[in-house]
A and B are shown apart, each in its own frame.
Chain A
Amino acid sequence: MAYSVTTQTPASRIASIAGLILIIALVALPFFAGRGPIQDMFFILTMLVLAQFWNLLAGYGGLVSIGQQAFVGMGAYALFGVVILLGLDPVPSILLAGVAALIIAVPTAFFAFRLNGAYFAIGTWVIAEVVRLLVAQWKTLGGGTGTSLPRSATKDMWFVEIIEETLGVRSAAARDILAYWLALVLALATIGGIYWLLRTRRGLALAAVRDNMEAAKSVGVDAARMKWMVFLTSAFGTGIAGGLIYMQKARISPDAAFSVTDWTAYVIFIVVIGGIGTIEGPIVGVLVFFALQSLLADFGSWYLMTLGVLAIAIMLIAPRGLWGLFSERTGIQLFPIRRTLRGGKLSETKE
């Protein structure tokens, strides 16, 4: 009998059907949900995208960055820049936000890749601060105090009118629905794209580099190229998310757009608590994070302290996160990437 390879598991087959139903429900959500839930879902989806890209970087690429806010902020400012100065529509400008993040990611990587481990982490943070200070000098976009998207740009945004008419909602609600749908598309593309990447031979190479860099080089893996690919991909995705987040907010300032707490610390919390190095982890993590935020929103600094204590507790008790704990006990994986060899001599006797 010939050999064959599969990555499917019984759980993943059920998950793909459940996933499809969930996607249909999420697409249809604006038809029966109010503005509040739509805004909450927008927050969850955009944080999920940021978490997936940080997870790709740190969990798969071994690059622990605490400077992802540079790409959120740069993407957001690029979007405001082209909308305000060039009069472009905000919707297609979201892609330019990704391009802008990509452009600053090249010199960032050039410098940061000279550093390793903790030094890399600090290096990325320092670079993000430098970008924030530079952007704060951009007087036409409000300098240090920031600016808003002009009413004319947000009012005539692509698709807004169609949504207003079809769903019978006001313009502000239509903009939220548009942002929500875009966030949904972005989140699905991100998860799908990362899952696809991990199932290619580049995904194998990433895992090999993470496990043992010297051995990976010795079997022909281009470790340096893998690092570049992962860093640039996550910068692009993070920039797009940044552009989208601030298109929805319609108001920007350097301190908010380059906030290390909002765009990196929370994101790390999500990934760590959910389970680093898995696609499922950030999904679980973002739901836990949202629940905590809703529960503790009125407790001010107690909220942050709770998050910190919880993150430490999870790291000590379950270093692989909540999903890791669950997956270890049950063996269930929703996005399996393990290539299982079958047939040939493996089918002769039971394992």
Chain B
Amino acid sequence: MSILSLTSVSKSFGALKVTDDASFDVPQGQALGIIGPNGAGKSTLFNLITGNIRADQGSIHFEGRDVTRVSAMERCLTGIGRSFQIPQPFEKLTVYENLLVAATHGRNMSEAAVRDDCADVLERTELIKRANTPAGQLSLLERKRLELARAMATQPKLLLLDEIAGGLTEGECQALIGTIKDIHAQGVTIIWIEHVLHALNSVVERLLVLDFGKVIGIGEPDKIMASREVREIYLGIDV
């Protein structure tokens, strides 16, 4: 059964069509990678799925329910969690409080009830030692980890990761991949936008290629990477 399905979703900013008739399904428990050149509309596609932007046309179903007109806040409550491409921590709150906001509101529970779950997420994302540090003082890797941890604190069924490996060193990237693999192994469905292809391909089972807002290919990573369109458009190689 597919947890998420998009049917002919389109979005324009003025004359620019950033999402053009996008249709695809994501089966429950799968990890889907999204690739495409800069400006292909990857982040917009995410914002459409999370509800930060409303679709002009088409419909989005999550767990069989039509969420096309549902707000970002309510989509979080139904089980869609996300990380932002540029980390957006609550800077004046501590790392622990960042998770506390997400857990208490995203799951509609009391602070006491989510305390241990938050600590658990902090341990898994290797942020526990920084629990009482204001988020504004974190390094880039820690900010990326906080994006992941805060999304996890809402206990999402579907987790959207937006270029979470970008800008990290190789060692940092490997550590983060390990954490993401753990999350995926627990049955969380993942959609991951990434330019760092080896990181992406070590986790995802399926790849989707986006160009000028259109879905130009979806399938097994090996086949997609080998396809003529991808090499032409995305990798800029003349074939």
Contact = CB atoms under 8 A, between A and B. Distances in A.
A214 interface: yes
Nearest to A2: B116
A208 to B, nearest CB: 4
A216 B101 contact: yes
Interface stretch (A31-39, A102-110, A336-344): A336-344
Interface stretch (A199-207, A230-238, A243-251, A289-297): A199-207
A217 B102 CA distance: 10
B84 A339 contact: no
A208 B150 CA distance: 12
Interface in B58-73: 71-73
Interface residues of A, number: 32
Contact of B131 (A208, A215, A346): A346
Contact of A351 (B50, B82, B102, B129): B129
A338 B129 contact: no
B38 interface: no
B23 to A, nearest CB: 24
Given A217-B72, A218-B82, A341 B101 contact: no
Contacts of A345: 123, 128-129
Contacts of A349: 129
Contact of B111 (A5, A216, A222): A5
Interface stretch (B87-95, B166-174, B200-208): B87-95
A197 to B, nearest CB: 14
A221 to B, nearest CB: 5
A223 B72 CA distance: 11
Contacts of B93: 204, 207-208, 211
Contact of B132 (A4, A221, A340): A340
A212 interface: yes
A286 B208 CA distance: 60
A3 B132 CA distance: 13
A208 B90 contact: yes
Given A201-B104, A205-B101, A220-B76, A214 B88 contact: yes
A200 B97 CA distance: 12
B91 A211 contact: yes
A344 B106 contact: no
B104 A204 contact: yes
B72 A218 contact: yes
Contacts of B100: 201, 204, 339
Given A3-B119, A212-B89, A345-B128, A221 B101 contact: yes
Interface residues of B, number: 44
A219 B153 contact: yes
B108 interface: yes
Contacts of A204: 93, 97, 100-101, 104-105, 111
Contact of B76 (A205, A208, A218): A218
Interface in B95-145: 96-98, 100-102, 104-108, 110-111, 115-116, 118-119, 122-123, 128-129, 131-132
A83 to B, nearest CB: 43
A220 B77 contact: yes
Given A201-B104, A341-B119, A346-B128, A217 B73 contact: yes
A185 to B, nearest CB: 29
Contacts of B10: none
A212 B91 CA distance: 8
B12 interface: no
Nearest to A199: B111
A21 to B, nearest CB: 31
Given A201-B111, A204-B101, A345-B123, A220 B106 contact: yes
B115 A3 contact: yes
Contacts of A340: 94, 96, 132
B105 A219 contact: yes
B52 interface: yes
B189 interface: no
Interface in A1-25: 2-5
Contacts of B30: none
B154 interface: yes
A323 to B, nearest CB: 16
A220 B92 contact: no
Interface of A: 2-5, 200-201, 204-205, 207-208, 210-212, 214-223, 338-341, 344-346, 349, 351
20 contacts: A200-B111, A201-B111, A204-B105, A204-B111, A205-B101, A205-B104, A205-B105, A211-B89, A211-B93, A212-B88, A214-B88, A218-B84, A219-B150, A220-B108, A222-B73, A223-B73, A338-B97, A340-B132, A341-B132, A344-B123
